[in-house]
Structure 1
Amino acid sequence: MTVKRITANLNSRSVSEMRGFYEAVFGLKLELDLGWIVTLGTGGDAPVQLSLAVNGGEDMPVPEISIEVENLDEVLAKARAHGCDILYGPEAESWGVRRFMLHDPSDNLVNVMMHV
């Protein structure tokens, strides 16, 4: 058996508000819209990963989702322009990533990171 995809499913108070956030801040594109659920993506294949944690590092809670980006400063600027409060960072971590954390419109904790 081969796992073909793992998809993060986040609780949402408003699908349209969440869609707007992830499109504006991360540039994701609509792939499926059934009204009660939307799927956003980059249009390409992504590696399958599942992280299991007891904490989020540096005394932070475990985030619901981690998003790796190419340019952390660009995404940070988009998040701030979107009115997001940055809860942590940006910080260069000892395990080789630079990251920041914020809540999405439904209060899911999002870890945004890039490898350095």
Structure 2
Amino acid sequence: MTIRRIVPNVVSQDIEESRSFYSDFLGMDVRMDEPGFLMLASPGNPTAQMTVVSTVADSWDPQTARSTLAVEVADVDAAYAAAEGQGYRVVYPLTTEPWGIRRFLVQAPDGSVINVHSHA
């Protein structure tokens, strides 16, 4: 499997407080700002990224708030087949989302939920 990028996912009860901390205090640039969802990047190293998602299920995408990491892969269909073939628990099926991401969520042996995706 070819991994293109790994992005940590922080779940927040207050997106505005999180924006203030990560952007104003740490100096990260807000790259995507949707209701209940922020993607932030380091201004000096734009590949250093993170997302912050709201715990409010109807604010953006309730599935993202379930995951601790987003792993972008070259071929999400092959990753899905590998997860199923190796017996890992898929907790959200392979889906092409309206915003252009094809993904599934899989549970790691430690209980973490990982968002495995490719751009559609």
Name which of 100, 109, 114 aligns with 1:110.
Answer: 114
Q: Does 1:84 align with 2:64?
A: no
* CA shift in 2, pair 1:91/1:48, >3 Å: same
Q: Give me the TM-score of the superposition, normalised by structure 1.
A: 0.56
How does 1:1-116 map onto structure 2 within 5 Å?
A: 47-55=47-55, 58-60=61-63, 61-116=65-120
Which residue in the other structure is 2:20 paired with?
Answer: none
Show structure 1 runs of 4+ deviating over 4 A: 55-58
Going by fraction, where is strand more abundant, 1 or 2? 2
Which residue in the other structure is 1:29 paired with?
Answer: none
Sequence identity percentage: 26
Measured after TM superposition, the shift of residue 86 of structure 1 is: 1.0
Q: Give me the TM-score of the superposition, normalised by structure 2.
A: 0.54
CA RMSD of aligned residues (A): 2.5
Structure 1: gaps (5+ residues): 1-5, 9-45
Aligned residues: 74
CA deviations on 1:69-93 (whole Å, 9 max, x unpaired) are 1101111111111111211121111
